């Protein structure tokens, strides 16, 4: 980390954010930017014009512009897996000029989009029916991580845009309880399953898919299975083995990372829920943010500024945690979605070149709908010793009624004030230190376009931070070890005679578990 940034932090430590506001009547103007209806207000961050200028110089030194172009142009930016990262191509509208080497990929995206739209139309119009001839009323997406969180988050966020009659459900947990609870409620003759797995090797997803398959076969007969399952994957062979019909397969590609995939056929559950028109509005919103990210000058660029602030808070202000606090219940799943996006992408300690990183990388992301969080963990954010940065997301309309909109806005603004100004008191228990680092994301309403913009904003913010820290935001080697070890422990659990195969340090615990079961 540049020594000079710490120098700025030391200088600023003596000045509260309230004082920074008092010193600069134009602070809101200087430290907020709007793009296409989305306001990013970072005036409550503990920085000033000089510190921001130094951060902007750092991002230039890190080569952000060239890295960004390399990503959009389809260069290999995921070095450790030797892959492109082309989630942005998924939201490029038809007719977009792309480099020659991306033309076939763009064609494949168009085909995928047309097939998804046709499928959605056929399910909505009941041209595609259940094996019994009944109309599908319920869709169950079976997937985990990127094959679950994006669709689940978006379906919930865009509930008011639901089109047609379908209810969407999500099953991810390996323990099978989500599936069991759903199966008790659903009519198999009206239930369509989407098995969503980029690799089609993910244990949790396969376990749930097999449960669902057995349920349909048990209730409607083996011959019914094909009509009730579609799949989204890169793995044709595994789809063969699962007996997914040819017209029920939706292609994925290794150039789309799981956590960047809701724009692909992984978003099929979203498109079934909200219809193709709304889904395309979501893509268009993301596209607008792509254009902004690519074209706006760094000091005007929302994701660039957010990435720089993430660096400032993590490495200079020492914030190991970052809370995502939406002032709408509709974004209840956004924190979980961003946990994967940010923590799988930035939870790295080795640079792209294989060296130890200098300084810190990804923060621990957590969050809840802010209304509820105010009454649970805001206490720690206001008066605790942990250093946590915050994003408050505020839609101006969309609550139950106009009075509820006002309640929401007033709550959000009063919390933003409290975090910034703090509170002096003779009683130390009642003292609030203030100057808690926070940004506000404010938008007129949470519609499909705005959701697309918000998600792309976070994707690019993560990219910017990854460039500053020189880590690969598109791989996730850290999740592999546990998966591999699980493969060794399962047989030991299953066959007690093989207990000696377990690592010695597990013997005691395994013995205890065996006696309890």
Provide CB contacts within 8 A for 92, sequence distance 6+: 98, 106, 109, 287
Q: Given the complex with ligand F6P, which of 138 and 204 has the nearer CB atom?
A: 204
CA distance 284 to 275: 14
Selected binder of ligand F6P within 45, 78, 141, 197 (CB under 6 A): 197
Element (H, E) at 190: none
Residue list 253-272, contact with ligand F6P (CB under 6 A): 258-259
> Smallest gap, in angstroms, from Cβ of residue 335 to ligand F6P?
17
Pick from 374, 366, 410, 412: which is nearest to 393 by CA? 412
- Considering 60, 424, 483, 495, which one is annotated as catalytic? 483
- Considering 344, 348, 368, 460, which one is annotated as catalytic? 344
Stretches 4-12, 191-199, 289-297, 433-441: which one binds ligand F6P (CB under 6 A)? Answer: 191-199
Token duo for residue 101? 């080497």
The contact mask relative to ligand F6P for 328-367 (x = CB under 6 A, - = no) is ----------------x-----------------------
Selected binder of ligand F6P within 35, 68, 191, 205 (CB under 6 A): 205
Pick from 346, 341, 473: which is nearest to 77 by CA? 473
The contact mask relative to ligand F6P for 478-497 (x = CB under 6 A, - = no) is -x------------------
Q: Given the complex with ligand F6P, which of 258 and 448 has the nearer CB atom?
A: 258
Residue list 26-85, contact with ligand F6P (CB under 6 A): none
> Smallest gap, in angstroms, from Cβ of residue 323 to ligand F6P?
23
Selected binder of ligand F6P within 145, 303, 422, 473 (CB under 6 A): 145
In the annotation, is 375 catalytic? yes
Q: Given the complex with ligand F6P, which of 243 and 254 has the nearer CB atom?
A: 254
> In Å, what is the CA distance from 503 to each residue of 350, 395, 489, 492, 516?
28, 52, 9, 10, 20
Q: Sheet containing 32-35: which strands, arranged edge to edge?
A: 32-35, 38-41, 438-443, 388-395, 321-326, 364-367
Q: Given the complex with ligand F6P, which of 384 and 478 has the nearer CB atom?
A: 478
Residues in the chain: 517
- Considering 3, 237, 297, 375, which one is annotated as catalytic? 375
CA distance 229 to 123: 13
Q: Given the complex with ligand F6P, which of 252 and 304 has the nearer CB atom?
A: 252
Q: Does 141 bind ligand F6P (CB under 6 A)?
A: no
In the annotation, is 344 catalytic? yes
CA distance 136 to 73: 41
Q: Does 202 bind ligand F6P (CB under 6 A)?
A: yes
Token duo for residue 84? 């492109």
Q: Given the complex with ligand F6P, which of 257 and 395 has the nearer CB atom?
A: 257
Token duo for residue 509? 């615990």
CA torsion through residues 287, 289, 292, 297, sign:
negative
Pick from 198, 79, 148: which is nearest to 340 by CA? 148
CB count, 10 Å around CB of 6?
12
Binding stretches for ligand F6P (CB under 6 A): 144-147, 197-199, 202, 205, 258-259, 344, 476, 479
Which positions are annotated as active-site residues? 344, 375, 483
């Amino acid at each position: 980390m540049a020594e000079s940034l710490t120098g700025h932090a030391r200088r600023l430590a003596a000045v509260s954010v309230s004082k920074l506001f008092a010193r600069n009547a134009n602070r809101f103007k200087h430290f907020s930017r709007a793009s296409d209806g989305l306001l990013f207000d970072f005036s409550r961050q503990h920085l000033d014009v000089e510190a921001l200028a130094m951060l902007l110089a750092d991002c230039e030194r890190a080569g952000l512009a060239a890295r960004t172009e390399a990503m959009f142009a389809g260069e290999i930016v995921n070095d450790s897996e030797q892959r492109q990262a082309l989630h942005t191509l998924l939201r490029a509208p038809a007719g977009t000029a792309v480099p020659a080497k991306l033309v076939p990929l763009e064609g494949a995206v168009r085909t995928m989009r047309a097939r998804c739209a046709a499928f959605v139309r056929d399910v909505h119009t009941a041209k595609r029916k259940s094996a019994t001839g009944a109309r599908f009323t319920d869709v169950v997406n079976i997937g985990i991580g990127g094959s679950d969180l994006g669709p689940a988050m978006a379906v919930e966020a865009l509930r008011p845009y639901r089109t047609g009659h379908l209810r969407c459900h999500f099953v991810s947990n390996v323990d099978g309880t989500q599936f069991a609870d759903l199966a008790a409620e659903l009519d198999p003759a009206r239930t369509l399953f989407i098995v969503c797995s980029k690799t089609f090797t993910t244990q949790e997803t396969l376990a749930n898919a097999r449960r669902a398959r057995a349920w349909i076969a048990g209730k409607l007969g083996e011959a019914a299975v094909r009509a009730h399952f579609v799949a989204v994957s890169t793995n044709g062979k595994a789809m063969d083995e699962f007996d997914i019909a040819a017209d029920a397969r939706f292609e994925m590609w290794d150039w789309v990372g799981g956590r960047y995939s809701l724009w692909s056929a992984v978003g099929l559950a979203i498109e079934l829920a909200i219809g193709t028109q709304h889904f395309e509005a979501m893509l268009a919103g993301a596209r607008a943010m792509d254009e902004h990210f690519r074209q706006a000058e760094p000091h005007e660029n929302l994701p660039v500024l957010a990435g720089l602030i993430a660096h400032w808070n993590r490495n200079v202000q020492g914030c190991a945690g970052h809370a995502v606090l939406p002032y709408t219940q509709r974004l209840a799943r956004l924190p979980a979605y961003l946990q994967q996006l940010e923590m799988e992408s930035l939870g790295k300690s080795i640079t792209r070149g294989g060296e130890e990183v200098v300084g810190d990388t990804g923060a621990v992301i957590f969050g809840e709908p802010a209304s509820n969080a105010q009454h649970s963990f805001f206490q720690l954010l206001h008066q605790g010793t942990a250093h946590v940065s915050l994003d408050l997301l505020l839609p101006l309309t969309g609550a139950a009624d106009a009075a509820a909109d006002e309640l929401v806005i007033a709550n959000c603004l009063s919390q933003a004030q409290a975090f910034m100004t703090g509170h002096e008191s003779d009683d130390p228990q009642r003292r609030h230190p203030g100057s808690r680092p926070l940004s506000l994301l404010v938008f007129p309403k949470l519609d499909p376009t705005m959701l697309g913009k918000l998600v792309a904003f976070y994707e690019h913010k993560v990219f910017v931070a990854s460039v500053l820290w020189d880590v690969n935001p598109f791989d996730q080697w850290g999740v592999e070890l546990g998966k591999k070890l699980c493969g060794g422990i399962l047989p030991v659990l299953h066959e007690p005679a093989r207990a000696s195969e377990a690592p010695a340090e597990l013997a005691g615990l395994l013995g205890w578990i065996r006696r309890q079961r």
